[in-house]
């Protein structure tokens, strides 16, 4: 262990760590399962939240110490666009741009959407249908999310004005499949495994990957409030190092069955999928988990500049600037990341 973070130097040892059931909370679950938190002197309780709004509120007001968080929440908090204005910061990226847009199978059939159709083609087909006065209800996971931005960027491929004016719903990720099943929505943009679950239930098809319409920016991050980070620097280094260790192990793990069991136990995966059943989906999901962070989990200033720009573009933010470099850097805890990396060596 690094000399700078001995067990006795931890400001706080019992932590509440929030998450939403999505594939990219896997490193948090794995760190707990493998005892990596305990190795660095932390007793971590994983707290499943019902929605991104409840997670954000509980983190901002101190009911959670840290959380699996949407990257776009940090720019929103930085300028008070989230109506709370309690600054959030991150030392660690949990996943990069890996969301998907799905439409109901009924709508896909009606629009003659083919598996090989490009993002441009699927956007053209849907927008043409909407322009013929056909009602279409789309959903994303949170106003301040790359899912919201990707949904509108996809629609903008066909019609920039419609992309700005169309009303879209906000639903927690685990409710997307149910809402589609109950005909409350016709499509959504969400992270895995919810696109796959809807597809396996015969409800939807994936029509666009977020990677087709947005750069490879941070999607989920480990987030804390600025105040909490200042009060608990050593604890945050220890927490980050344990999650980093889990990320690295997940990237090279040969036997994925214990990870699958864990994701099933925590209700992240709620469908039968294995090396024998729905085999292609099984290996696709395994590959997604291995590659959530491809090169480095260090938060990048450029990612958060892009998020500020998107917030201004799609959320009618009044905070217009030539450059968001300074605001973006205020969201990052790079020294914490560097210290956490040194602990894992």
Residue ranges, comma separated, of all CATH 3.40.190.10 domains in the chain are: 3-96+218-267+295-344, 99-212
- Looking at every residue in the chain, the average pLDDT score rounds to 93
* Rounded mean pLDDT, 237-244: 98
Whether the predicted pLDDT of 324 surpasses 50? yes
Whether the predicted pLDDT of 1 surpasses 50? no
Whether the predicted pLDDT of 83 surpasses 90? no
pLDDT at 185: 98
Question: 3.30.590.10, 3.30.1490.190, 3.40.190.10, 3.40.1110.10: which CATH number matches 99-212?
Answer: 3.40.190.10
Q: pTM of this prediction?
A: 0.94
pLDDT at 65: 98
* Rounded mean pLDDT, 249-276: 91
Whether the predicted pLDDT of 9 surpasses 80? yes
Name the pLDDT band for 3 (thresholds 50, 70, 90): very low
Q: Write out pLDDT tens, residues 95-144.
A: 999 999 999 999 999 999 999 999 999 999 999 999 999 999 999 999 99
* Rounded mean pLDDT, 188-206: 96
* Fold adopted by 3-96+218-267+295-344: D-Maltodextrin-Binding Protein; domain 2 (3.40.190)
* Rounded mean pLDDT, 155-172: 96
Among 1-5, 105-109, 230-234, 261-265, the minimum mean pLDDT is found in: 1-5
pLDDT at 320: 62
Task: Give me the phi and psi of 204, to 5 degrees please.
Answer: -150, 170
pLDDT at 215: 95
| Bigger pLDDT: 290 vs 2 | 290
Whether the predicted pLDDT of 323 surpasses 80? no
């Amino acid at each position: 262990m690094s000399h700078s973070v001995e067990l006795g130097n931890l400001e706080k040892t019992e932590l509440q760590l929030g998450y939403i059931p999505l594939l990219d909370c896997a490193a948090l679950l794995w760190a707990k399962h493998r005892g990596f938190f305990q190795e660095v002197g932390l007793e971590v309780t994983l707290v499943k939240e019902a929605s991104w709004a409840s997670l954000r509120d509980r983190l901002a007001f101190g009911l959670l110490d840290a959380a699996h968080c949407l990257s776009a929440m940090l720019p929103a908090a930085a300028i008070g666009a989230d109506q709370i204005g309690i600054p959030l910061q991150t030392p660690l990226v949990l996943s990069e741009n890996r969301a998907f847009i799905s439409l109901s199978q009924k709508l896909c059939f009606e629009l003659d959407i083919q598996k090989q159709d490009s993002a441009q083609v699927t956007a053209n087909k849907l927008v043409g249908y909407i322009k013929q006065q056909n009602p279409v209800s789309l959903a994303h996971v949170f106003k301040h999310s790359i899912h919201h931005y990707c949904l509108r960027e996809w629609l903008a491929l066909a019609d920039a004005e419609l992309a700005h004016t169309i009303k879209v719903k906000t639903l927690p990720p685990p409710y997307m499949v149910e809402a589609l099943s109950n005909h409350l929505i016709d499509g959504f943009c969400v992270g895995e495994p919810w696109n796959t679950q809807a597809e396996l239930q015969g409800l939807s098809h994936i029509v666009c990957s977020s990677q087709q319409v947005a750069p490879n920016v941070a999607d989920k991050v480990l987030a804390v409030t600025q105040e909490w980070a200042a009060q608990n620097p050593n604890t945050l280094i220890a927490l980050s190092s344990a999650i980093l260790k889990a990320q690295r192990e997940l990237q090279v793990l040969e036997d994925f069955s214990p990870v699958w069991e864990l994701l099933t136990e925590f209700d992240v995966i709620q469908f039968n999928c294995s090396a024998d059943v729905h085999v292609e989906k099984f290996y696709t999901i395994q590959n997604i988990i291995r590659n959530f962070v491809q090169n480095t989990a260090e938060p990048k200033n450029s990612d958060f500049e892009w998020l500020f720009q998107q917030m201004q573009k799609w959320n009618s933010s009044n905070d217009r600037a030539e450059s968001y470099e300074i605001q973006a850097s205020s969201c990052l805890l790079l020294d914490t990341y560097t210290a956490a990396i040194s602990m894992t060596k």
